[in-house]
Amino acid sequence: NRKVEYIKKTTQILKTEHNGDPPCDMPSLLRLPGVGPKMAHLFIQVGWGRTDGIGVDVHVHRISGRLGWTDPKKCQTPEQSRVALEAWLPFEYWRPINALFVGFG
């Protein structure tokens, strides 16, 4: 597990490149070690109170396919599922969907 390594590198990057504050945009967050699209979207939602996309983890990915909300043949990764969900799911549900689906993991 590389989480400790990522945390140490991230804290140094935040200190030197962002004046100690976490960035508030996807490209900057995605440049941090260990941060992927799901975590970046969730961080923006919680940390900055903004919803720029759906935080899709393996739970949202699998459950949305089982419900027929996404096509499992076309959406083989969580990121593909995110794009498919954002294309039709009303914006008002983008923020709560991760927390709702994780409970059904």
Active-site choice (3, 9, 38, 74): 38
In the residue annotation, 38 being an active-site residue is answered as yes
Q: Which of 65, 85, 79 is nearest to 36 (CA)?
A: 79
Reduce the DSSP state of residue 15 to 3 states and report it. Answer: helix
Positive or negative CA dihedral for 6, 9, 14, 15? positive
Question: For residue 95, how many other CB atoms are within 10 A of its CB?
Answer: 18
- Which are the catalytic amino acids? 38
